[in-house]
Structure 1
Amino acid sequence: MHEKGIIDMFRGTAPQIVAVLGSTIGAISDGMHYGWSAPFTPILEKEDSHIKLSHSDVTWLESIYLIGGLAGLPVTIYSVDRLGRKASILLAAVISLVAWILIAIANNVIYLYIARFAVGLSGDVAFVAAPMYIAEIADRKIRGFLSGTIYVMMLVGILVVYAVGPFAPFYTCSIIGSVFVIIQLVAFPFMPDSPYYLLQRHKPEKAKRHLERLRTTGTVDKEMEEITTAVDRQRSEKGRPQDLILNKGNRKAFIIMTVLNAAQHFSSISVMLMNLHSILKEAESEYISFEIAGIMFSAFMLIAATIADFTCDKFGRKGLLICSSLLSGVSLLVLAVYFTMKNNGYDVGGISWIPIAAVMVYAGVFKFGLGIIPIVMTAELFPAKMKAIGMTMADFAYLFFGLVSVEMYQKLIEVYYLDLPFYIFASTTLLTAIFSWLYIPETKGKTLEEIQYMLKGEPIPERKPSNYIGNGLDDTSEKDIKLTEISPNNVA
């Protein structure tokens, strides 16, 4: 996009950008919590550690984070609806701050258990409420870009904890994480609230005032009318849970999202982020320390995610999924073969650069497909009346399979060795490429109505002329997405 096009795209959006930064700066803290166990587990397992950890403690510190996320589902559903998107983000920030304090003062593993459970819960709330808030305040011309901000912030947090954790006193990351949360707690209350939520709570005058604060282009009467129509439609369109299975299109969307959410974790992303330092330490590379390799890994993830945020709409979803799954699977297979050779007594000193290269390639290729397409497709596949139910189920699947993958990894390495779980992860990731090729439709350039026809296996009607008021969209028009475009807790 040329310079003038970029300027035009962002013209008049400064209040929205400030509000989005306020709503997502806490995601840096969430990313630090998510990646916390990778650098700190090796530290806490040392003889001179102030907290003694057993192998079961390591497993629980990872699993309880995801259990907290599952426990947070009903809290999230209640909070974003009753308290609102803005209040939910602030609630998550308060919980995160308490967790950092518990970690800083911890002299027993119980403190860490409580903190990890709490931030799993708060992360679930934040990663539903913040994308929902962004989708409802953003101009459609930059909504996609702004929606990706929270995931970039999260990866910044992972980079921070990987860069600081191994080299600074134990409490340092707690201080840094707390600073980001405190900034959010101080600044975000002054940001505008979601006009959609205010209309849902029957506060039209307040909704208009907050919308005027978000827009700098003059009158907002027309947009207020559109939002009011969208909210009224949402109230009248309530999907039934059984329709997720009984309706052919909904059923296919549900299967696709369940498989993709499972595939994200069974491509090892949570295992990798939570155990990266111990995995690289076991690889015994003679070329680079595992601490530095961890920083490089998180930097690769951040760069790839930033590029993907700008470019994902330029490539087909299906093609990206297939390529990403194939390359991620090959990277994991190479890692598994290396550990098999090492475990069987082969001299791997001369090739100890291979695991470093494998995880770096994985960091880049994962984020261009498996790491971003499920987030995009969640908002595309479900019709308006099924979005809330469908996305809640997608959120549950994401957390559930994350817990299963982490538990499986820890159990297998305890009984066998690192190679077996990575053979499993490589196999499932390669199978995802086949599933994507055979079952997932290409949704790039398709209206939401056309996607529903594709999911049902019905021919797509000819599009109406572009000057038609609906422009080829069904009742789930682009402006309706603002109300319902919730991403699951998809922190990968």
Structure 2
Amino acid sequence: MNYIGGSRYLQYLATISGDLALVTDGMHYGWPSPSLPQLLNNTNSSLSITNSEGALMAVMPLLGAVIGAVTAAYIVDYFGRKKTILFTAIPFFIAWIMVAFASSVIYLHIARFIAGMADGVSFTAIPMYIGEIADPSVRGFLGSSCSISWILGYLLINIIGSYFNIKVTALISSSLCVIAFFTFIWMPESPYYYLMKKKTEKAKESLRRLRANADVDAEIEKINRSIQTTSKARGRFCDLFTVPSNRKAVIIVAGLRGFQQFSGTTAINFYAQEIFKQAGSEVSPKEASIIYFAVMFLMTILSSSIVDKAGRKPLLIISMSGSIFALLVEATYFYLQHKSTLDLSDFEFVPVAGLILFVIFFSCGMQSIPICLLGELFSTSVKAYALCLADVYYSVVATIASKFLQVMMDNYGIHMAFYGFTICSVLGLIFIIFVVPETKGKSLEEIQSFLKGEEYKHAVEMQTMKPKIGNEVNDNIDDALLPKYS
């Protein structure tokens, strides 16, 4: 039987279409960078806000994301991944229209809160969907596309928002929601979801389209066994902490996402133009912020294209090490600028160059890989709850990191914020080296076996057997297996 559209490329098309929701999400998150200066200075806008109102407006999506993530944990397994992702286009669109026609600051707060709720849903459903439709050989790249899309949103909104007023920017941005809805409606549902609902034939049809292969019985059986094995405890949020393999995954994700945010990335993104303004560089804040997000976008694409070859952990180590150096340079420059009498006129390029260097290294791994691991580390039985918890946790730590930057800038100097980010990044590097596992090339089922310690146990058994078996068989046992899982 010939399946129209049945091609591995459908995995890419489904990922691109689903990721459009994350592009508009990134545009909502990046909106304060070009828009807050207009509101604070009352330029190109009929509204005017205070610094405290601006700070609240910047983090409002993070607050809404908590409600959205909790909601998504229940609806993603009830309505399915596809319908949940389609639904996010509606609140994103409503939020942009409210921003365009807001007559008071309160409407802007509400609009960004609504966008935050849609963010909570999208960042729960989309990584899950991509992780379930992708081949293991390209899952790292497709999973990393979530970050690429989100950063593309930051870049687009900084370009559009720098050259148009708030109303026109919002109306242009709202069109992407319409495109996202009417392209993703044609994509297949996750075969995992169909099997969870005992719809085996639909699962086979979906997998045939995604794999371009009429014979998918073996993979369907493998997925089915995995679901049956992990579905006994379905519906129990506490299993994230009481089941050892789930608890291990929670620790890994919480650590990575926490150190990702306390390196300052989201806080810097929110206040990009303000930071460049304080730097006093000859490059205008608008141009510097566009360059910053363009480099972030391109480097994240590069990282995503090599993550399945280079591996997750090496890229994370390189990424965090380079970020530490760049943050230290940035902190030291701002310290000398504000706390010394040195003439830094010949070094005005340093703060812009430092942040560009930071974004180059950070985007090599820390930007995208933690999100990629969200779709890899958790079993089907708790994945919805895990992604919900991860998004709530992200909202909390990103809010704290953003508030930390704003408080430091207002009261102690921006250099203190960057020194704080540097220290947290050093701790993050230690965490990556000693805690984070490598998932390169492993299927979702193999990753679960690793987290349960089954592969390590198997390696121990093989080492124990070696003295008892003949040399011919003995030579075929991989001596590197045991250290690999130590």
TM-score bucket (shorter structure): 0.7 to 0.9
- Cα displacement (A) at 1:385: 5.1
- Cα displacement (A) at 1:359: 0.6
**Would the aligned equivalents of 1:381 and 1:452 in 2 still touch at CA under 8 Å?**
no
Equivalent in the alignment of 1:162: 158
Equivalent in the alignment of 2:453: 453
Kindly provide the CA deviation profile for residues 213-239 of structure 1, in whole angstroms up to 9, marking residues without a partner as x: 434333444444444333333323548
Kindly provide the CA deviation profile for residues 433-485 of structure 1, in whole angstroms up to 9, marking residues without a partner as x: 233334445555675234543999997554999xxxxxxxxxxxxxxxxxxxx
Stretches of structure 1 lacking an aligned partner (at least 5 in a row): 1-9, 466-492
2:328 matches 1:328: no
TM-score, with structure 2 as normaliser: 0.85
The structure-2 alpha-carbon separation of the partners of 1:350 and 1:399, relative to structure 1 and needing over 3 Å to count, comes to same
Equivalent in the alignment of 1:105: 101
2:7 matches 1:16: no
Root-mean-square deviation (CA, aligned residues, Å) is 3.0
Question: Residues 169-248 of structure 1: matches in 2 within 5 Å?
Answer: 169-238=165-234, 244-245=240-241
Equivalent in the alignment of 1:290: 285
**Would the aligned equivalents of 2:326 and 2:358 in 1 still touch at CA under 8 Å?**
yes
Aligned residues: 456
Kindly provide the CA deviation profile for residues 321-349 of structure 1, in whole angstroms up to 9, marking residues without a partner as x: 33322221221121122222222354332
Kindly provide the CA deviation profile for residues 154-198 of structure 1, in whole angstroms up to 9, marking residues without a partner as x: 222111111121112222322232121101222222322223223
Kindly provide the CA deviation profile for residues 229-288 of structure 1, in whole angstroms up to 9, marking residues without a partner as x: 3333332354855555456655444333222211111100110111101100111102x1
Which amino acid in structure 1 is aligned with residue 356 of structure 2?
Answer: M
Residues of 2 paired with 1:215 and 1:456: CA distance? 31
Match among 267, 270, 273 for residue 269 of structure 2? 273
Residues of 2 paired with 1:382 and 1:191: CA distance? 24
Equivalent in the alignment of 1:479: none
The structure-2 alpha-carbon separation of the partners of 1:316 and 1:211, relative to structure 1 and needing over 3 Å to count, comes to closer
**Would the aligned equivalents of 2:69 and 2:389 in 1 still touch at CA under 8 Å?**
no
Equivalent in the alignment of 2:308: 313
Residues of 2 paired with 1:79 and 1:294: CA distance? 37
Q: Which moved more, 1:224-233 or 1:146-155?
A: 224-233
The structure-2 alpha-carbon separation of the partners of 1:322 and 1:213, relative to structure 1 and needing over 3 Å to count, comes to closer
Equivalent in the alignment of 1:85: 81
Instruction: State the identity as a percent.
Output: 34
Equivalent in the alignment of 1:143: 139
Which amino acid in structure 2 is aligned with residue 74 of structure 1?
Answer: V
TM-score, with structure 1 as normaliser: 0.84
The structure-2 alpha-carbon separation of the partners of 1:243 and 1:79, relative to structure 1 and needing over 3 Å to count, comes to closer
Residues of 2 paired with 1:429 and 1:332: CA distance? 9
Stretches of structure 2 lacking an aligned partner (at least 5 in a row): 466-472, 474-486
2:331 matches 1:342: no
Which amino acid in structure 2 is aligned with residue 77 of structure 1?
Answer: A
Equivalent in the alignment of 1:434: 430
**Would the aligned equivalents of 2:261 and 2:401 in 1 still touch at CA under 8 Å?**
yes
Equivalent in the alignment of 2:478: none
Question: Residues 322-471 of structure 1: matches in 2 within 5 Å?
Answer: 322-344=317-339, 345-382=341-378, 387-442=383-438, 444=440, 447-448=446-447, 449-453=449-453, 460-462=460-462
Kindly provide the CA deviation profile for residues 47-103 of structure 1, in whole angstroms up to 9, marking residues without a partner as x: 444111101111101221111111212211122112211111111111000001011
Which amino acid in structure 1 is aligned with residue 322 of structure 2?
Answer: L
2:29 matches 1:34: yes
SS of the equivalent of 2:231 reads helix
**Would the aligned equivalents of 1:328 and 1:362 in 2 still touch at CA under 8 Å?**
yes
**Would the aligned equivalents of 2:281 and 2:348 in 1 still touch at CA under 8 Å?**
yes
Residues of 2 paired with 1:250 and 1:198: CA distance? 23
Residues of 1 paired with 2:207 and 2:439: CA distance? 31
Which amino acid in structure 2 is aligned with residue 266 of structure 1?
Answer: F
Which amino acid in structure 2 is aligned with residue 99 of structure 1?
Answer: A
**Would the aligned equivalents of 1:325 and 1:433 in 2 still touch at CA under 8 Å?**
yes
The structure-2 alpha-carbon separation of the partners of 1:104 and 1:138, relative to structure 1 and needing over 3 Å to count, comes to same
Residues of 2 paired with 1:322 and 1:53: CA distance? 41
- Cα displacement (A) at 1:375: 2.8
**Would the aligned equivalents of 1:266 and 1:425 in 2 still touch at CA under 8 Å?**
yes
Residues of 1 paired with 2:34 and 2:6: CA distance? 42
